[in-house]
């Protein structure tokens, strides 16, 4: 399910958005710069500054994660159930992974997401016949002009 291509995509693009729902049904969308493909069925991210996300996951483990390449306008949407790790060998292993990657921020917990569905996401611009090169050039120019 989480292929080597998807893992490489997440390693390259870093940023994704985690969607949760609070106890009173309010949506919460939170950016995360630590999303990784941990294994073929599991994503992970670090609780660095995520009080609302963590509170929501404790009462409702359902989660969606969206990660998009801002230039190609392609990416992935992951759906699944979260598990929160605060200690243990897997916590230590993932924490070491993050530290080896240079993440210095304090990490409170590790969230594992057992992925039940992966969908590819593409911009409607592709439906209009634009190539990936065309779309990349358009957005590269946009960002260069900021």
Domain ranges of the chain: 4-144
What was the pLDDT predicted at 146?
Answer: 79
Check pLDDT > 90 for residue 145.
no
Helices marked H in the chain: 4-13, 51-59, 89-100, 132-144
What was the pLDDT predicted at 14?
Answer: 83
Look at the domain 4-144 and name its fold. Pnp Oxidase; Chain A (2.30.110)
Segment 52-75 shows an average pLDDT of: 96
Average pLDDT, the chain: 95
pLDDT tens digits, residue range 1-30? Answer: 999 999 999 999 989 999 999 999 999 999
Token code pair at residue 105? 């921020």
pLDDT tens digits, residue range 103-117? Answer: 999 999 999 999 999
Helix (H, G, I), strand (E, B) or coil at 11: helix
Q: How far is CA 62 from CA 15, 69, 129, 146, in A?
A: 20, 24, 35, 37
Specify the pTM.
Answer: 0.92
Check pLDDT > 90 for residue 52.
yes
């Amino acid at each position: 399910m989480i292929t080597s291509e998807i893992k490489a995509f997440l390693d390259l693009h870093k940023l994704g958005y985690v969607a949760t729902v609070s106890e009173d049904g309010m949506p919460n969308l939170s950016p995360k710069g630590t999303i990784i493909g941990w294994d073929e069925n599991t994503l992970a991210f670090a609780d660095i500054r995520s009080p609302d996300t963590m509170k929501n996951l404790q009462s409702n483990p359902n989660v969606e994660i969206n990660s998009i390449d801002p230039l190609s306008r392609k990416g992935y949407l992951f759906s699944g159930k979260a598990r929160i790790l605060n200690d243990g060998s897997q916590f230590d292993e993932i924490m070491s992974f993050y530290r080896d990657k240079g993440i210095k921020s304090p990490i409170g917990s590790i969230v594992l997401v057992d992925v039940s569905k992966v969908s590819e996401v593409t911009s409607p611009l592709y439906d209009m016949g634009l190539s990936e090169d065309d779309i990349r050039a358009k957005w590269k120019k946009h960002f260069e002009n900021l």
